[in-house]
Structure 1
Amino acid sequence: MVSDTTPPPGRRPGPKPRLSRERIVEAALGLGIEQVSINAVASALGAAPASLYRYIDSLDDLLFAALERAFAHAPLPSGEQGWRPYLETEATTRFELLTRYAGLLTDGTGGLETAAVRRFEQVVEGLVPLGFGVDDAVLAVDAVLDLIHDGAAQIAHLRARGHGDPAAQPFESPDVSAAFRRIQDAPRDHLWRKLAIVLDGLAVRQSGGTPSALLARS
């Protein structure tokens, strides 16, 4: 009689996988931050959930490590095309990270402080050779990243609650209500228009102009 050597359901043949903190973090990123649980990561690695705790302290520890890795490993922008494309590229990278990993929005950099500070410093350092003093470089990067972070949070909020009833808009003016509805329909486009205004202001500042000079052009 031939014996059945098929492994029981839920068990995988072969040696148990070698675990490491790095492999566990990579598996969490592969699942997507919003889908991470100890059981899901363990299943992806073919390991017992309890075995993960030799390398991580808790689910929060794993989430912070995964988000920090995503943050720290995002490519830095190139300054070859000038300061404006440089900042636009960093804005796009940050927006994509915030959109893909919601934990970056809710964390407030508490668990990501080291990665966030180093990233900020690197972007500032890359902007200085493009014609910015250190103080203005810090101001420019801070303004752009604040705008992107706030915009990504607003977009996430809109997506979470849906557009709602157009008739429930709080504006009395039909034109303003229609304009606000267009923002709801294309929030990323609206965010990038706001970014353009910030960068236009930086261009005037860099040329030695004043805000009134920018208004005179419009």
Structure 2
Amino acid sequence: MDAAISQGIDRFTLTGVAKTLGVAAPSLYRVVNSRDDLLMHCFLRVTGELNLPDPEATWQDQLREYTDALWNLCGTYPGIAHSLLTFPGSHFAIQDYLDDLTRGLTRASFPGGDDDMHFIVDMLSDNVLVASMVTQSLRDGDGFELARQRLGSVRSEERQHFPIRENLWDHDWLQRKTEFVIRGMELQLRP
């Protein structure tokens, strides 16, 4: 798992892992069945580091803490966001975490039912994972400069929608989205 994670959770190959370990690729099949099998083990290891929100906090603050924890996890493990979004059923790795999270939200008097809870956690998760992927692609190498050049090739700066600014894809932007989703849920579920 360490060798796969070090190569990038979204990029590793069994051949690359074997080379890192100094063994032949077929030797790995004594330990894992496939790349997907190794990826699932990586998911379990990495998501095991996901910090659980304070169960005594308000449901709104628990959701804020969850988005921060997921954002930090994505920053620690580049490629995890892409892998989680594109691997069918990847949320298998956080079922126990989700049990604890939903218990905390319920204890904090979340105003909706399970479907509402699943909806907001899913929406916030998608926001974090997509924002992380975009941020990573812009921060890798010359990503910001390439994006500015591409956008500048079709529009002058004063006419650009979503101009390429580093602060547009940072944690503060994600927090604004999180607040918007939480506020929307408060309005939808108010008595």
Q: Is this a same-fold pair by TM over 0.5?
A: yes
Task: Say if 1:195 and 1:101 are closer, same or farther in 2 by CA, change over 3 A.
Answer: same
Aligned 8 A contact 2:59 2:104 in 1: no
| Residue 78 (1) aligns with residue 58 (2) | no
Matched, 1:102 2:82: no
Task: Name the counterpart of 1:187.
Answer: 169
User: 1:57-91 deviations in whole A, cap 9, x for unaligned?
Assistant: 23342223212321244232212232222111111
CA distance in 2 between counterparts of 1:83 and 1:109 reads 29
Say whether residues 1:131 and 2:84 are aligned partners.
no
Query: Take 2:19 and 2:80, find their aligned partners in 1: how far apart are those partners?
Result: 22
Aligned-partner residue type, residue 105 of structure 1: H
Q: Any conservation in 2 of the 1:98–1:105 contact (CA below 8 Å)?
A: no
TM-score if structure 1 supplies the norm length?
0.64
Q: Give the corresponding residue for 1:211.
A: none
Which of 45, 48, 51 matches 1:69?
45
After TM superposition, the structure 1 = structure 2 runs for residues 204-215 of structure 1, keeping only pairs within 5 Å, are: 204-205=187-188, 207-208=190-191
Shift of 1:196: 1.8
Provide the residue aligned with 1:164 in structure 2: 148
Question: Can you give the 5+ residue segments of structure 2 that lack an aligned partner in the other structure?
Answer: none
Q: Relative to 1, partners in 2 of residues 1:69 and 1:122: Cα closer, same or farther, differing over 3 Å?
A: same
Which range moved further: 158-167 or 80-89?
Answer: 158-167
Match of 1:149 in 2: 129
Q: Which runs of 5+ in 1 are unaligned?
A: 1-24, 209-218
Which of 51, 59, 83 aligns to 2:35? It is 59
How much does 1:111 deviate?
5.5
Quick one: which amino acid aligns to residue 163 of structure 2? R
Higher RCO (CA 8 Å, separation ≥ 6 residues):
2
Q: Which moved more, 1:197-206 or 1:136-145?
A: 197-206
Deviation at 1:92, TM superposition (A): 1.5
* Larger displacement relative to structure 2 (161-170 or 193-202): 161-170
Task: Write the distance in 2 (CA, Å) between the matches of 1:96 and 1:67.
Answer: 15
Q: What TM-score does the superposition give when structure 2 sets the normalisation length?
A: 0.71
Task: Indicate the percent of aligned positions where both proteins have the same amino acid.
Answer: 25
Other structure's SS at 1:164 match: helix
Contact 1:123 1:141 in 2 (8 A): no
